[in-house]
Structure 1
């Protein structure tokens, strides 16, 4: 039991020590994938259609 608690403590400390990524860096990482998906699945029209469908489903 004590061994499990020690490992959990180490994992928690490791998570706290890791630096957080800046939002602009995260955006720069995601944009190429987003552009690829927009190209692969039919552009903004498909995105707007899906968003509209979800909005109708949610009652908005």
Structure 2
């Protein structure tokens, strides 16, 4: 009986781990740093390809100046 209970608990734990690794979160939200890490490479690529790097740097310096005051 104890052996069966142990296997059942192990299967349930495995299912929870698999669903967590599958990307389905109960809250449906993503950590902001994960979102930034996902978007930043594409944003940099698009700004370089379309020549908007100077505009991005200007905006970033403006925001940094506002946050510093």
Structure 2-normalised TM-score?
0.34
Larger radius of gyration: 2
Structure 1-normalised TM-score?
0.37
Q: With CA pairs under 8 Å and 6+ residues apart, which has the higher RCO, 1 or 2?
A: 1
